[in-house]
Amino acid sequence: MNHRKWLEEIFDRVNMPKEVHIQHQPKKRGSFVRGAFIGTALGAVAGMLFAPKTGKETRKDVQKTGENLQKEATKQVNQLTKKVQRRVDTAQQRTRSKVAETATKVQNKVEPAIDEAAKQAKRSTRKTARTARSVNRPNQR
């Protein structure tokens, strides 16, 4: 029996529309992990459905499997959270470094211009003061 027919049979048993679950999806990052996780879940469900156990035993197995899946999902989320946090931290460090570097460059370019403007302002002030003194002095002839 090929895997497609096997999946169709499982979906028929649990009353799930097989078209939704068998469609081909383009590969993405982490598809192996997702595939392993989904395969484990489907295998567990199939095993429980085909196993000759009582309803009580099957319910206990379903509960156990649900708990295990929840633990695995929590573990995956925690790993992903740590990975994202590391990337955020790295990006913050790079940004801080670039901001400091840019600020230094701006300061190095602006300071000489400010110094020159201050010198020009002093010269203009002196010139204006001389002009004012000469206008206010009486003519000496």
What is d(CA 48, CA 42) in angstroms, rounded to the nearest whole number?
10
Question: Would you state the pLDDT for residue 21?
Answer: 47
pTM of the model: 0.43
Is-contact 10 45, C-beta < 8 A? yes
How does pLDDT run across 3-55, given as a tens digit for each residue?
666 666 666 666 555 454 445 455 555 677 777 778 887 887 777 677 677 77
Q: Measured in Å, how far apart are the chain's first and last C-alpha atoms?
A: 124
Question: Would you state the pLDDT for residue 140?
Answer: 53
The residue ranges of every structural domain in the chain are 1-22+29-52
Question: What sign has the CA pseudo-torsion 89, 91, 96, 101?
Answer: positive
Structure tokens at 52: 């000759």
Tell me the mean pLDDT in the region 108-121. Answer: 88
Question: Would you state the pLDDT for residue 61?
Answer: 80
Q: Which helix (H) or strand (E) holds 119?
A: helix 55-136
Confidence of residue 93 (pLDDT cuts 50, 70, 90): very high
